[in-house]
Amino acid sequence: MNLALLFTADFISTDTVRLSDRRLEHLRSIRKIAVGDSVPVGQVNGNIGAGRVTNLTAHYAELHVSLDQAPPQPLPLTLMLAMPRPKMFRRTLQTCATLGIKDLWLINSYKVEKSFWQTPWLQEPALHDNLVLGLEQARDTLMPKVHIRKLFKPFVEDELPALLAGKQALVAHPGSAQPCPVHLPGPAALCIGPEGGFTDYEVDKLQQAGCQAVHLGQRILRVETAVPVLVSRLFDGCL
Amino acid sequence: MNLALLFTADFISTDTVRLSDRRLEHLRSIRKIAVGDSVPVGQVNGNIGAGRVTNLTAHYAELHVSLDQAPPQPLPLTLMLAMPRPKMFRRTLQTCATLGIKDLWLINSYKVEKSFWQTPWLQEPALHDNLVLGLEQARDTLMPKVHIRKLFKPFVEDELPALLAGKQALVAHPGSAQPCPVHLPGPAALCIGPEGGFTDYEVDKLQQAGCQAVHLGQRILRVETAVPVLVSRLFDGCL
């Protein structure tokens, strides 16, 4: 936790918060805070700054907060991700938030096992908690939006073309002829397949919707590695 | 497992292997192999190619192997990594192998907890198994070398300068004035600190040894994310 993310319910006055959960535990046991210390804080979807500890009891910490700096720039990327297996999904979700991805679409694919959609990590409170962990890692405050689309064809035919408008649209597909571009000048949309990749039919459909198929080289990467590799390659100036 | 990595002990003749462990289990349950099928294989530190299933019993599979292609190019990178916490270490080790890193130095730092060095993941069989998993993911065969250095100062003073010779040497340090370069023309050496970063003293020592301190932007990344982001940034042509 490189920053404590603050929510409306934390504020007991316009410039004072009271923390009593995981954040208090972290501030106590890892940062070993005392009254008078300052720690990095940020208001969800707002500024970042410092919180000075004004009161510390067994049950809560009160911080006087001053939020005067903008959070890091969002990444100009719409990411479509074939739903990963649950353990990998949780880590990938945090990584997406840490990297500054604000628009994440979890989509279906032939090689996505049906059981993956049953994971409790997809429920709203778990999604929220893991996005918060990812934001706090990066000292960011802007909450990503996560969209769940369990049917491939309707998504690709009915929604995807509008999502791609004005963006450079790519589908990462090992074996494609074109290498993935580097250092894009503008916003992008990127589709990443499941373990084993999108099927040829799915790649065709994504191409029909406007995506260009690109490869990352000879190596096949797990999704949790492919996301940072691709983001770094597309936007090396923006992290 | 995008490739079954083969070892000397697997060969029952010059061109036939018999597999009976995790690899058999994977070929059976995930790839659902039958006699006559071909699967990707590679010989450790040797070529990659195909293995045709010639015999399949309850206890083993025999494959007739033809190894006629070179594995992916190694990454021209020497990576010095402050020892991560055990769970993250295991994943990071696999990721390093998948990305093609062949020279990995696990080093100490003030913020590396002593207990991290006690993890069973550092024992030779566990190191080996996780490197194999990482190589198999990338369809690579070249086994990385892992060096363990539990004392920071002797390593940095006595060994590091020679390791940096002929390489562009960097230490990733949030808050540095210089941004991390992109697309290096030659080999590199890269130091990545622990959670919370190297101390100022440690960064000074690394700089004295010849490393340039660089930052990756405003966001602070976990080591398992920082490694692929940095590798992709330094060597976007090589993956």
Give the pLDDT confidence of B64-85 residue by residue, as tens digits. Answer: 999 999 999 999 999 999 999 9
pLDDT of residue A238: 62
| Adjacency order of strands within the sheet including B77-82 | B145-149, B103-107, B77-82, B188-192, B168-172, B212-215, B178-179
d(CA B138, CA B153): 35
Which residues on chain A are in Cβ contact (under 8 Å) with B218? 72-73, 138-139, 239
DSSP B108: -
DSSP B166: T
Give the pLDDT confidence of A99-150 residue by residue, as tens digits. Answer: 999 999 999 999 999 999 999 999 999 999 999 999 999 999 999 999 999 9
Burial class (CB in 10 A: 0-12, 13-18, 19+), A147: middle
Task: Supply the mean pLDDT for chain A.
Answer: 96
Which residues on chain B are in Cβ contact (under 8 Å) with A175? none
Q: At the top level of CATH, which class does the domain B77-234 belong to?
A: alpha beta
Q: Is the model's pLDDT at A239 over the cut of 90?
A: no
Cβ pair A219:B72 closer than 8 A? yes
Cβ pair B217:A231 closer than 8 A? no
CATH of domain A75-234: 3.40.1280.10
Which residues on chain A are in Cβ contact (under 8 Å) with B75? none
Domain segments of chain B: what residues? 4-69, 77-234
* ipTM confidence score: 0.94
- Among B49, B63, B65, CA closest to B20: B63
pLDDT of residue A198: 97
pLDDT of residue B236: 75
d(CA A162, CA B79): 42
A→B contacts (Cβ < 8 Å), by residue, are 2, 72-73, 95, 98-100, 137-140, 182-183, 216-222, 224-225, 228-233, 236, 238-239
Tell which of A3, A31, A229 to mutate to test the B interface (max B CBs under 10 Å). Answer: A229
**pLDDT class for A236, splitting at 50, 70, 90?**
confident
Name, in order, each residue with C-beta under 8 angstroms of B57's C-beta and a sequence gap of 6 or more. none
**Could you check whether A4-69 and A75-234 share the same CATH topology?**
no
| Adjacency order of strands within the sheet including A188-192 | A145-149, A101-107, A75-82, A188-192, A168-172, A212-215, A178-179
d(CA B129, CA B121): 9
- Distance from the Cα of B1 to chain A's closest Cα (Å) equals 10
Give the pLDDT confidence of A24-65 residue by residue, as tens digits. Answer: 999 999 899 999 999 999 999 999 999 999 999 999 999 999
| pLDDT (average), residues A77-87 | 97
Give the pLDDT confidence of B179-196 residue by residue, as tens digits. Answer: 999 989 899 999 999 998
Rounded percentage of chain B residues whose pLDDT exceeds 90: 92
Q: Is the model's pLDDT at B7 over the cut of 70?
A: yes
Give the pLDDT confidence of B42-68 residue by residue, as tens digits. Answer: 999 999 999 999 999 999 999 999 999
Cβ pair A219:B138 closer than 8 A? yes
- Among A146, A143, A147, CA closest to A8: A143
**Three-state SS for B72?**
coil
Q: At the top level of CATH, which class does the domain B4-69 belong to?
A: mainly beta
pLDDT of residue B20: 94
d(CA B130, CA B142): 13
